[in-house]
Amino acid sequence: MPDKLPYYITTAISYPNGKPHIGHAYELIATDAMARFQRLDGRDVFFLTGTDEHGQKMQQTARAEGIDPSELAERNSNEFREMGRLLNASNDDFIRTTEPRHHEACREIWNRMADNGDIYKDSYAGWYSVRDEAFYQEGETEVRDDGVRYGPQGTPVEWVEEESYFFKLSAYEEKLLKHYSDKPDFIGPAERRNEVISFVKSGLKDLSISRTTFDWGIKVPNDPAHVMYVWVDALTNYVTATGYLTDKNGPRAKYWPADAHIIGKDIIRFHAVYWPAFLMSAGLPLPKRVFAHGFLLNKGEKMSKSLGNVVDPVNLVNHFGLDQVRYFFLREVSFGQDGSYSEEAIGTRINADLANGIGNLASRSLSMIVKNCDGKIPEPGEFSEEDRAILASADSLLETCREEMEKQLIHRAVAAVIGLVSETDRYFAGQAPWALKKTDPERMATVLYVTAEIVRQIAILLQPYMPDASAKLLDLVAAPADKRDFSSLGEAGRLVPGTVLDAPTPVFPRYVAPETGA
């Protein structure tokens, strides 16, 4: 058997200056779905997430709390790890930028960029946003009515003047533009690609990549008065975790370059401009794709601590159930666009697509089998045209899902699977097996076989998005443990007549809103 093809996917690493919020949960759930999809599709997946623990923002938050930045990082990093467990994230590693392996990798990438002649010392004077950990050109900032100057992301900026190392970003303008044009899939979605290209075309200035006015960071090699700019440190995490920089023959080196970095749209510039330039400078291969998802809005409003609508993912999961929440975000939000959510919208989705949809289809068809076919998967008779048509729809669904997932259009992959549920509902209603029970029991058995077989395929295809609920559905059709990946879709894994089924238990209860009792 040939070796499985490696597939490396990452989330951004989050700032542990506070607890994780729903935006962090969203990114992790989406990336987890992509990682699970590739694993089920036979790839050797390495999925990485973690925390970005250095920088001025961390130092300032820690000071305000009267604790050491390392204590703040430790406490909140654990919260992020815990959130991963709660969300059933299947990450293979969790990186913390305070780990020695990461310090080593950062020194290595710095030295390589320096050896390439891309780092020089000068002094920096300009605007800096601590909240974004980003330098901005004066033209990107504006003074608002409150007299405060803000950057393009709406966060306050402050004037910074200090000695600093610079990276010759300006030398990479043409190389980056060539890369975007040679590799049109490097940045997604199209809006972000256009945004990045026009940013680069407007001219790149050299980038300040060290700070001297605080010390919570990774020391610059041979100049300990400087710590590396937190984004040099942060972006390098993706290579650190593979060991590629420090041990090219190590067990995980094969995963570099990454297949996909999944990040939010606010940090596209760092990932699609700075990061490839650093890598080119260090002589390292570039990631294949950077995909920026949109922002989650609470009932259409931007989440903010002052509005009090920064929803705690733990509460949401406790209230609606994990797979219900996963499903909602993955199906409801067009991946790559902003998305709004509300309790009403989550409840509506749960009832329409899950309880009345796949849940109902599975329980109706399987309970008929248990009652009318001796509790065993029935032997089908000859397939009618309708049977063949619906089986063909199911058998070809993987191809559709692959095409969508390749472009990170998660919502469209999920919609395609749910579309098959509706098609099967119509098939089931049209064939009316309950009526056939008296008139043509053999035909009833065939219809039930076909329906159960489709439930099996739907359950296999839903695993990336709702791992636990799909496993329950697969238990209901008694799919063997080794026949649950995508190679068992279609003819390869057809239900075996005679297999004993237990009476189905509900997988998706209806959601009843507590306030209204509706």
**Where along the sequence are the contacts to ligand ME8 (CB under 6 A)?**
12-15, 23-24, 26-27, 52, 234-235, 237, 263-264, 266-267, 295-296, 303
Q: Are 95 and 50 in contact (CB under 8 A)?
A: yes
Nearest-angstrom CA–CA distance, 403 and 20: 32
Considering the complex, what minimum distance in angstroms separates the CB of residue 496 from ligand ME8? 44
Considering the complex, what minimum distance in angstroms separates the CB of residue 417 from ligand ME8? 24
Q: Whose Cβ is closer to ligand ME8: residue 296's or residue 448's? A: 296
Q: Which is it for strands 119-129 and 158-167: parallel, antiparallel or unpaired?
A: antiparallel
Considering the complex, what minimum distance in angstroms separates the CB of residue 154 from ligand ME8? 13
- Bridge partner residues of 188 (DSSP): 291
Q: Spell out the residues 6+ positions from residue 352 whose beta carbon is closer than 8 angstroms to its own.
A: none
Considering the complex, what minimum distance in angstroms separates the CB of residue 252 from ligand ME8? 18
Helix, strand, coil percentages, rounded to 5, for the chain: 50, 15, 35
Nearest-angstrom CA–CA distance, 82 and 22: 14
Q: Whose Cβ is closer to ligand ME8: residue 27's or residue 259's? A: 27
22-40 and 397-406 helices, crossing angle to 10°: 130
Nearest-angstrom CA–CA distance, 242 and 8: 9
Q: Whose Cβ is closer to ligand ME8: residue 40's or residue 157's? A: 157
CA 297 to chain centre: 17
Q: Whose Cβ is closer to ligand ME8: residue 17's or residue 463's? A: 17
Q: What count of other Cβ atoms lies within 10 Å of the Cβ of residue 308?
A: 9
Q: Whose Cβ is closer to ligand ME8: residue 102's or residue 484's? A: 102
Considering the complex, what minimum distance in angstroms separates the CB of residue 293 from ligand ME8? 6
Considering the complex, what minimum distance in angstroms separates the CB of residue 323 from ligand ME8? 20
Phi/psi at 268 (5° precision):
-65, -40
Q: Whose Cβ is closer to ligand ME8: residue 32's or residue 395's? A: 32
Type and span of the H or E element at 323 = helix 322-332
Instruction: Give first-to-last CA distance, the chain, whole Å.
Output: 55
Tell me the residue nearest to ligand ME8 as measured from the CB: 264
Nearest-angstrom CA–CA distance, 290 and 268: 8
Considering the complex, what minimum distance in angstroms separates the CB of residue 52 from ligand ME8? 3
Considering the complex, what minimum distance in angstroms separates the CB of residue 456 from ligand ME8? 34
Q: Whose Cβ is closer to ligand ME8: residue 94's or residue 295's? A: 295
Q: Whose Cβ is closer to ligand ME8: residue 14's or residue 129's? A: 14
Nearest-angstrom CA–CA distance, 473 and 363: 9
Considering the complex, what minimum distance in angstroms separates the CB of residue 517 from ligand ME8? 31
Q: Are 86 and 317 in contact (CB under 8 A)?
A: yes
Considering the complex, what minimum distance in angstroms separates the CB of residue 401 from ligand ME8? 24
Nearest-angstrom CA–CA distance, 119 and 226: 13
Q: Whose Cβ is closer to ligand ME8: residue 298's or residue 351's? A: 298
Q: What is the dihedral of CA 126, 129, 130, 131, to 10 degrees?
A: -170
Residue with tokens 């962090």: 24
CA 303 to chain centre: 19
Q: Whose Cβ is closer to ligand ME8: residue 177's or residue 303's? A: 303
